[in-house]
Amino acid sequence: MTPEERDLAVGARGFMPPDEGHALWTAASTIDPSLGPVLEVGSYCGKSALYIGPAVRDVGSTLFCVDHHRGSEENQEGWEFHEADLVDEETGLIDTLPHFRSTVHAAGLESVVVAMVGDSSRIAGAWSKPLSMLFIDGGHGVLPAKLDYMNWTPHVAKGGILAIHDVFPDPADGGRPPYEEIYLPAIASGKFAEDSVTGSLRLLRRIG
Ligand code: SAH
Ligand code: MG
> Ligand 1: does its nearest atom lie under 6 Å from the Cβ of 16?
yes
Q: Whose CA is nearest to atom 7 of ligand 1?
A: 48
Look up residue 202 and give its amino acid. R
Among 68, 69, 99, 140, the active-site one is 140
> Ligand 1: does its nearest atom lie under 6 Å from the Cβ of 14?
yes
Query: Angle at the Cα of 182 (from 208 to 69), degrees rounded to 5?
Result: 120
Does pTM top 0.85 for this prediction? Answer: yes
Residuewise pLDDT in 10s, the chain (208 residues): 999 999 999 999 999 999 999 999 999 999 999 999 999 999 999 999 999 999 999 999 999 999 999 999 989 998 888 999 999 999 999 999 999 999 999 999 999 999 999 999 999 999 999 999 999 999 999 999 999 999 999 999 999 999 999 999 999 999 999 999 999 999 999 999 999 999 999 999 999 9
Helix (H, G, I), strand (E, B) or coil at 14: coil
* Catalytic (active site) residue 69: no
State how beta strands 192-198 and 201-206 pair. Answer: antiparallel
Q: Whose CA is nearest to atom 19 of ligand 1?
A: 139
Q: Of the bound ligands, which one is closest to the alpha carbon of residue 199?
A: 2
CA 120 to centroid of ligand 1, rounded, Å: 9
170 to 123, 165, 166, 174, 200: CA distances (angstroms)? 32, 14, 11, 7, 11
CA 162 to centroid of ligand 1, rounded, Å: 17
